[in-house]
């Protein structure tokens, strides 16, 4: 059995799944015995990318991590990682998020850059090691960049992400706009999905000082598909808050065509959202114009209030 | 006034001072307005290197960090950093230690590699950016590598450190063995120094679960110079433990010629040292054959016992 697992965060998104598969290819080409795994279900958007480039999804992690070495991609915060992550030896991290609730006992290889997508960093690593990027690996990389930057519209998107994505499109032989919009749409259909499903699709927890904040996000081309079932959604959020003892739950419904978000905020720290975004919640709901990035536009202002 | 400070850890050693100056040169060549500073006195060893390559020491940090950006080199743990580090915005870290007690609110550039010295990583960054390494910068870099690896004898030393150091010696035009031994000896004279001075020369604190462990290290060519004043040293350690509420204080006296260490261990968790190194303390003292690296040979076994 392989001794080194590679995985991204819980509630895997396209960057997390793609980065694990890309890192697996990278390490394998370096002669290392590794296996990409995932910590949750593959989203419709990610499945679209995997099908398009004919790559199998990684299998679900089903082995205890005690005694194993692990490579983390696209995350570092332990509460977003495997439940028994502290039993493993983390030898490497490649990520593009803030660093928090992360520690190791020994030195490791850690590479984080403030770019829009993990695969933008991975592409550099291929180049630094003179390793060829195969078309299907390029396809996974560009899918991750399109997903994380909402086709370059997110403020997290950097010039490096755009340049990398364009170069990858040449290798994978796809039209970025056409393929990208189809992929995003494949993941943006919320119609017919249960509130429980929507609230867990892409949700992350954040420790901010002594508060625990849960921030879930969905992409859609029609916000009303969610707002039509807002009462059910709120009931489920309140149930989750009671069960998991969250101080704040923010559900970010992002309109990928208009590049703004509607949020539903509940919990004892609900007012932090009003202060953070200088807005008023009406029926626990507010529209945040221009906000599309959890990492860059939602977490920092809330952390500024609660995390100090 | 400059908006970005660069500094290494408290109780600066040669790698910390050299890395701050090298990073200042690197960022300046990239067109960024930065200033290297230090968090404590320059050691005799470091001063020897600075004098040899005719470089001025950075000035002492004397400005509050609120509202400033900082680049950390050669450390990340907040208890080893500036007292008001959490007031600053950390934009970049280049380091070769474990990651612990470190967090940021936003994504950043973080580069850690499990090599023997921070300047080995910095050298790669110069090359990746096609930036010329001037002779005096090469001199600082190789001094740091010699210092951190005890002229390649430490188990923290990697093939990368040796290769980098040899290439740097060509640029700086020095004989590594000759210069290296002179530099190490300049820093290894403990004769005539007070216990307080020796215990603070190169001391770091580590949070291990709910325990706080202080590990001080000196290099010497004659361990007896310290053991001759062991009673005074123990009295001062006990005073420091009482004042600072350390659970364990380990004073590592490293013989740089024979590549082993004698430790003096005191505090309520004193027995952790016996268990960690499978040894017996006699009069609070034990000899640890082959142990020269705090990071790789002292911290991990103690952390294994106390940190879980």
Residue A16 has a pLDDT of 98
Distances from the Cα of A19 to the Cα of A141, A154, B54, B102, angstroms: 7, 19, 46, 24
Residue A68 has a pLDDT of 96
Q: Give residue limits of the domains in chain B.
A: 4-186, 195-306
Question: Is the CB of residue B74 less than 8 Å from the CB of residue B212?
Answer: no
pLDDT band at B166 (very low <50, low <70, confident <90, very high): very high
Kindly indicate whether the domain formed by A4-186 is annotated with CATH number 3.90.1640.10: yes
Q: Is the pLDDT of residue B288 over 80?
A: yes
- DSSP designation for B282: B
Task: Quickly name the fold that domain B195-306 has.
Answer: Diaminopimelate Epimerase; Chain A, domain 1 (3.10.310)
Residue to test with chain A: of B103, B158, B209, most A Cβ within 10 A: B103
pLDDT tens column, B168-218: 999 999 999 999 999 999 988 888 889 999 999 889 999 998 999 999 999
Q: Is the pLDDT of residue B115 over 80?
A: yes
Given a cut of 50, the residues of chain A with pLDDT beneath it are none
Contact A106 B112 (CB under 8 A): no
Write the DSSP assignment of B44-111 as a string of letters.
HHHHHHHHHTT-PPPEEP-S--TT-EEEEES---GGGS-TTGGGSEEEEEEE-S---S---SS--EEE
Report chain B residues touching chain A, CB-CB < 8 A: 96-114, 128, 295-296, 299-300, 303-304, 307
Strand order in the sheet with A89-95: A59-60, A34-38, A4-7, A69-73, A89-95, A109-112, B109-112, B89-95, B69-73, B4-7, B34-38, B59-60
* A176's tokens: 């970025």
Report the DSSP beta bridge partners of residue B207: B212
Task: Report the Cα A5 to chain-centroid distance in Å.
Answer: 19
Which distant-in-sequence residues (6+ apart) come within 8 Å of A170 by Cβ? none
Q: Of A289, A301, A286, which is closest to residue A251 (Cα–Cα)? A: A286
End-to-end CA distance of chain B: give it in Å, rounded.
Answer: 44
Q: Is the pLDDT of residue B247 over 90?
A: yes
Residue A129 has a pLDDT of 92
Residue B81 has a pLDDT of 97
Residue B295 has a pLDDT of 86
Q: Is the pLDDT of residue B257 over 90?
A: no
Please give the average per-residue pLDDT across B250-274, as a whole number.
95
Q: Does A247 carry a binding-site annotation?
A: no
- DSSP designation for B155: T
pTM of the predicted structure, to 2 decimals: 0.86
Please give the average per-residue pLDDT across B254-279, as a whole number.
95
* A86's tokens: 């502290």
Residue A81 has a pLDDT of 97
Report chain A residues touching chain B, CB-CB < 8 A: 96-114, 128, 295-296, 299-300, 303-304, 307
Residue B105 has a pLDDT of 87
Low-confidence winner among A7-11, A18-22, B256-260, B275-279 (lowest mean pLDDT)? B256-260
Residue A257 has a pLDDT of 85
Distance CA B188, CA B110 (A): 33
Q: Is the pLDDT of residue B1 over 80?
A: no
Residue A35 has a pLDDT of 98
Contact A105 B295 (CB under 8 A): no
pLDDT band at B221 (very low <50, low <70, confident <90, very high): confident
Distances from the Cα of B200 to the Cα of A250, B193, B205, B303, angstroms: 48, 11, 11, 21
Question: Is the CB of residue A270 less than 8 Å from the CB of residue A248?
Answer: yes
Three-class secondary structure of residue B286 per DSSP: strand
Query: Burial, A117: exposed, middle or buried (Cβ in 10 Å; 0-12, 13-18, 19+)?
Result: buried
* B242's tokens: 């009482």
Greatest C-alpha distance within chain B: 57
């Amino acid at each position: 059995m392989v001794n080194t697992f590679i995985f991204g965060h819980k509630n895997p998104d396209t960057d997390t799944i793609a980065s694990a598969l890309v890192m697996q290819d990278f390490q394998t080409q370096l002669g290392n015995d590794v296996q990409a795994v995932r910590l949750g279900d593959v989203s419709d958007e990610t499945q679209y990318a995997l099908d398009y480039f004919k790559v199998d999804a990684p299998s679900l992690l089903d082995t205890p991590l005690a005694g194993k070495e692990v490579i983390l991609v696209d995350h570092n915060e332990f509460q977003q990682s495997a439940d028994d992550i502290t039993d493993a030896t983390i030898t490497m991290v490649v990520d593009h998020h803030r660093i928090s609730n992360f520690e190791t006992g020994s030195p490791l290889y850690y590479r984080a850059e403030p770019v829009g997508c993990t695969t933008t960093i991975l592409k550099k690593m291929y180049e630094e090691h003179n390793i060829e990027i195969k078309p299907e690996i390029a396809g996974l990389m560009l899918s991750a960049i399109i997903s994380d930057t909402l086709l370059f519209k997110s403020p997290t998107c950097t010039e490096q992400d755009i340049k990398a994505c364009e170069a990858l499109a040449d290798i994978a032989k796809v039209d970025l706009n056409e393929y990208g919009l189809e992929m995003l749409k494949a993941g943006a259909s919320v119609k017919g999905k249960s509130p429980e499903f929507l609230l867990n699709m892409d949700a992350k927890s954040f420790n901010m000082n002594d508060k625990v904040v849960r921030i879930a996000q969905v992409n859609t081309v029609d916000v009303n598909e969610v707002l039509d079932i807002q009462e059910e959604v709120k009931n489920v959020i309140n149930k989750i808050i009671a069960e998991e003892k969250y101080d704040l739950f923010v559900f970010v419904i992002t309109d990928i065509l208009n590049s703004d978000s509607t949020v539903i905020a509940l919990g004892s720290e609900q007012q932090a959202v009003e202060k953070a975004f200088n807005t008023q919640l009406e029926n626990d709901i507010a529209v945040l114009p221009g906000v599309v990035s959890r990492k860059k536009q939602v977490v920092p202002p809330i952390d500024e209030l609660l995390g100090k």
